Amino acid sequence: MFAEDDVSEEILEPCGMPDHEDCGLRLILDRLGEKWTVMTVAELAGGPRRYREIERSLTGVTQRMLTLTLRRLERDGFLSRTVEPTNPPSVTYALTASGQSFARMVTHLVDWSRSHKDTIRLAQQDFDRHHVG
CA 47, CA 127: separation in Å to the nearest integer? Answer: 42
Task: Label residue 44 exposed, middle or buried (CB < 10 Å: 0-12, 13-18, 19+).
Answer: buried
Q: Are 113 and 121 in contact (CB under 8 A)?
A: no
Q: What share of the chain is helix, strand, coil (3-state, %, to 5)?
A: 60, 10, 30
Give the closest residue to 58 by CA, choosing from 73, 67, 97: 67
| Binding partner of residue 130 among DNA, its own copies, none, CB cut-off 5 to 8 Å per kind | none
Q: Which of 16, 62, 68, 84 binds its own copies (CB under 8 A)?
A: 16
Output the smallest distance, CB 101 to DNA, in A. 22
Nearer to DNA, 8 or 59 (CB): 59
Residues facing 81 on adjacent strands: 93
Residues facing 90 on adjacent strands: 84
Quick check: helix, strand or coil at residue 84?
strand
Nearer to its own copies, 90 or 124 (CB): 124
Residue ranges in 37-66 that form contacts with DNA under rule CB under 7 A: 50-53, 55, 60-65
Output the smallest distance, CB 52 to DNA, in A. 3
Q: Taking CB under 8 A as the rule, does residue 70 contact its own copies?
A: no
Residues of the shown chain interacting with DNA in the complex, contacts defined by CB under 7 A = 30, 33-36, 50-53, 55, 60-65, 67-68, 70-71, 81, 88-92
Residues of the shown chain interacting with its own copies in the complex, contacts defined by CB under 8 A = 2, 4, 6-7, 9-18, 22-25, 27-30, 32-35, 38-39, 41-43, 45-47, 57-59, 74-77, 95, 97-98, 100-110, 112-114, 116-117, 119-124, 126-128
